[in-house]
Structures are given as structure tokens and as C-alpha cells.
């Protein structure tokens, strides 16, 4: 994605040399120091390695107790996060990931960990895309480029009633960051149920210059019938009416005609580099009674640029009798992803434990 500055490579510049320094943080090297990996003498697997000793997988993970916060990474200097892999146990809605850039006290990323990786319903589903991959059995992978100039801090807070275990690795580079690089942001929202005739807000309150690069959404349907007639709307830089107005929910996620496989008469899951509906949870005839969907749309090839502010909404529309649109009252959650200049405007308060819960 980036060039000679060493933030990242692509097939077009993979052979290019750089003076950037490669580093990696994990429970086997908490500080990412050069030549300091695998030196632990205490850790989760100490007993398993009792016959082998130091250097033999003694500290591959951490336990985060209920109510506690673990610092996943704290990096001083200038560089960029290039890849994050993690596999958390416990309830993914109740493990909150935050990322802070430079000297800010306000996080620029604040999301339940499952939602950040496109898993909104607490159940595994494979997701294969350019910036996010979810692989068996619960392997969360992020390839969003995340530059910083002074400092990066990543934390995980366990708000569940039980302890959790976290395996993770954060791969990054120490290098100069060009002046025209913006900072990565991600914000979670959930409304359950959406009030009648309200629109769902994906993002608002953004202040600064930047570009929107995508969203993942969890959509829980509370009515029978088709639910995806609603339009997405982008309001940029003081718009009263949107500059961008979509034509339907499945259209925005680069599908069409109800996401339906015409041969099977079923919703058809799909994953592509930039858009997909990777998860369809079907009723089981007993307690899992509602249709639930996981979708993503990455604006990597078509970023939505703004100079001062940005607001994004999407309608929830089904069908009434008489061929009329029906405003729906669904369970909708989302994560918005964007880059912008600092400072980060304060986010809305994250919902509490019970409101976050998938029920």
C-alpha cells in the first residue's frame, strides 16, 4: 500500500529495499525488542515445557482476569502496525480492544474484538478479504496499515464475568512516516431495536480531514420478509442532503436481488477482497429464532474523502402490505473504519455489558 518509506509493501514494490526495521510483539516478547524473543522463564506453558526449559514455548499467551485491562502493545517512536493476529477466548462482545495514537488520551479505535474483525454475533464464520481475515478455528487477522509518529498503545479490556485467554502477535515497522499519512480509526455502534422510522447511524461526529475506508455490519432481522431495501447515505463537509446515496442495502454490499441464490432459494454467503456477506445465521426451529447476517464493504479502491466532517446513515426497510416500504425495528451493529488527522473527536460512550450482549 505504501512505497519507499517502509510502511508496507505490495506486489508492485515487493523487491524494493528499505531502511525500516521489522519488529514483533507477542507474549514471547512483550516489548518487541530486537533479539529478545522467547526468553521467558515464567508463563502460561511453563509446566508443559518443564523438560525443555527456556526458549521452548513458555509464554505463548496471557490470561486477562474479569474486569482487567492488558496492554497488548506499547511502542515508542515512529512507524506503523502492519499486521495483527489474535485468538481470544470468552465472549468476543465483552473483550474491548482500544488503540491510542501518539499522546492522545482518547482512543482512535474502540470496538468489541469480534466486531472489529467482522464477527458480530459471537459465532465463527470464515471471512476472506484484503484487510480482514477470519480463519479456523477463531483466528482474527488484520492487515489495515496503521501509521503513528510518536507512540502506539493497544489494550484489551475484559468486561465479562469470567477470565479470558489471549494469544496474539502484533507485527510492525519502525520507520519514518510521511506527512501525508493519516491515522487509522475504528468505531463500534449498536442499536437494538432501531426505533420505528429512525435511520441507523454508522458514523457521525467525525472532525478533521480524512477518508472513510469501510464498514462491517451485523444485521439481526426482527420481521419476516425481505429486510434490505434501505439506502446508505454519506454526508460530507456540512451536507444537508447526502452527496452519496445508495440504492439498497444489498447493493451497497456489492450484492443484488436479496443476496439470493436463485437455484437454492436461500441467502448465499460470499467473500470477495472488498465486499461480502460472510455470515448467515438461520433459525434452528427452537431458540435461535431470528435471521442474522454479517456483511462488510471496504472502500479501499474507492475511499470516501472528506475535508472537515463526515456522517453516514443507512435505512432499515422491508415491505408493508400494498407494496409499501416498511420501516424496520431491527438489531443492527456496525464498525466504521476510516483514516483522519488528529485529534480524534470523542466517541459516543460504548454500550454497557448487557446492551452489548448478543441475545
Its domain, for residue 128, covers 21-181
Looking at 122, 154, 181, which one is the last position of a domain? 181
CATH, residue 117: 2.60.120.1390
Identify each DSSP E strand in 51-182 by its residue range: 62-64, 69-76, 79-88, 95-101, 109-112, 127-128, 132-135, 139-142, 146-148, 151-158, 164-174
pLDDT at 161: 97
Q: Report the largest interatomic distance among the alpha carbons of the chain, rounded to a whole angstrom.
A: 74
Check whether residue 28 and residue 175 sit in a common domain: yes
Handedness of CA 303, 304, 305, 309 (dihedral sign): negative
Rounded-to-5 percentages of helix, strand, coil across the chain: 5, 45, 50
Looking at 181, 216, 240, which one is the last position of a domain? 181
Check whether residue 177 and residue 220 sit in a common domain: no
Residue 3, domain member (yes or no): no
Looking at 150, 181, 212, which one is the last position of a domain? 181
What string of pLDDT tens digits covers the 359 residues of the chain? Answer: 444 466 888 888 889 999 999 999 999 999 999 999 999 999 999 999 999 999 999 999 999 999 999 999 999 999 999 999 999 999 999 999 999 999 999 999 999 999 999 999 999 999 999 999 999 999 999 999 999 999 999 999 999 999 999 999 999 999 999 999 999 999 999 999 999 999 999 999 999 999 999 999 999 999 999 999 999 999 999 999 999 999 999 999 999 999 999 999 999 999 999 999 999 999 999 999 999 999 999 999 999 999 999 999 999 999 999 999 999 999 999 999 999 999 999 999 999 999 999 98
Number of domains comprising the chain: 2
Question: Do 181 and 7 form a contact (C-beta atoms < 8 A)?
Answer: yes
The secondary structure of 253-290 as a DSSP string is TT--GGGEETTTTEE--EE-SSEEEEEEE---SSS--S
Check whether residue 100 and residue 146 sit in a common domain: yes
Check whether residue 290 and residue 191 sit in a common domain: yes
Check whether residue 122 and residue 248 sit in a common domain: no
Residue 28, domain member (yes or no): yes
pLDDT at 12: 85
Check whether residue 158 and residue 295 sit in a common domain: no
Residue 206, domain member (yes or no): yes
Residue 39, domain member (yes or no): yes
Amino acid at each position: 500500500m505504501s512505497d519507499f518509506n517502509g510502511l508496507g509493501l505490495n506486489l508492485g514494490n515487493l523487491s524494493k529495499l528499505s531502511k525500516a526495521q521489522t519488529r514483533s510483539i507477542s507474549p514471547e516478547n512483550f516489548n518487541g525488542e530486537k533479539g529478545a524473543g522467547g526468553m521467558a522463564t515464567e508463563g502460561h506453558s511453563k509446566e508443559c515445557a518443564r523438560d525443555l526449559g527456556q526458549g521452548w514455548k513458555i509464554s505463548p499467551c496471557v490470561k486477562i482476569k474479569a474486569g482487567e485491562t492488558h496492554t497488548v502493545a506499547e511502542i515508542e517512536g515512529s512507524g506503523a502496525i502492519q499486521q495483527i493476529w489474535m485468538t481470544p477466548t470468552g465472549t468476543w462482545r465483552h473483550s474491548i480492544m482500544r488503540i491510542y495514537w501518539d499522546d492522545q488520551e482518547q482512543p482512535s479505535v474502540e470496538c468489541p474484538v469480534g466486531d472489529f474483525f467482522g464477527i458480530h454475533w459471537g459465532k465463527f464464520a470464515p471471512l476472506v478479504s484484503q484487510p480482514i481475515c477470519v480463519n479456523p478455528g477463531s483466528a482474527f487477522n488484520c492487515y489495515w496499515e496503521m501509521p503513528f509518529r510518536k507512540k502506539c498503545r493497544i489494550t484489551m479490556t475484559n468486561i465479562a464475568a469470567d477470565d479470558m485467554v489471549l494469544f496474539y502477535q502484533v507485527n510492525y515497522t519502525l520507520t519514518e512516516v510521511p506527512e501525508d499519512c493519516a491515522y487509522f480509526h475504528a468505531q463500534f455502534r449498536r442499536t437494538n431495536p432501531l426505533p420505528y422510522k429512525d435511520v441507523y447511524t454508522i458514523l457521525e461526529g467525525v472532525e478533521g480531514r480524512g477518508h472513510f475506508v469501510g464498514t462491517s455490519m451485523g444485521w439481526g432481522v426482527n420481521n419476516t420478509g425481505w429486510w434490505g431495501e434501505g439506502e446508505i447515505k454519506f454526508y460530507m463537509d456540512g451536507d444537508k442532503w447526502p452527496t452519496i446515496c445508495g440504492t439498497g442495502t444489498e447493493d451497497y454490499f456489492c450484492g443484488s436481488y436479496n443476496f439470493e441464490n436463485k437455484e437454492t432459494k436461500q441467502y448465499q454467503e460470499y467473500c470477495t477482497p472488498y465486499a461480502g456477506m460472510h455470515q448467515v445465521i438461520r433459525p434452528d426451529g427452537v431458540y435461535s429464532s431470528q435471521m442474522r447476517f454479517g456483511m462488510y464493504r471496504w472502500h479501499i479502491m474507492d475511499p470516501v474523502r472528506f475535508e472537515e466532517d463526515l456522517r453516514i446513515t443507512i435505512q432499515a426497510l422491508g415491505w408493508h402490505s400494498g407494496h409499501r416500504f416498511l420501516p424496520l425495528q431491527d438489531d443492527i451493529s456496525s464498525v466504521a473504519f476510516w483514516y483522519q488527522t488528529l485529534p480524534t473527536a470523542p466517541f459516543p460512550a460504548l454500550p454497557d455489558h448487557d446492551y452489548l450482549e448478543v441475545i
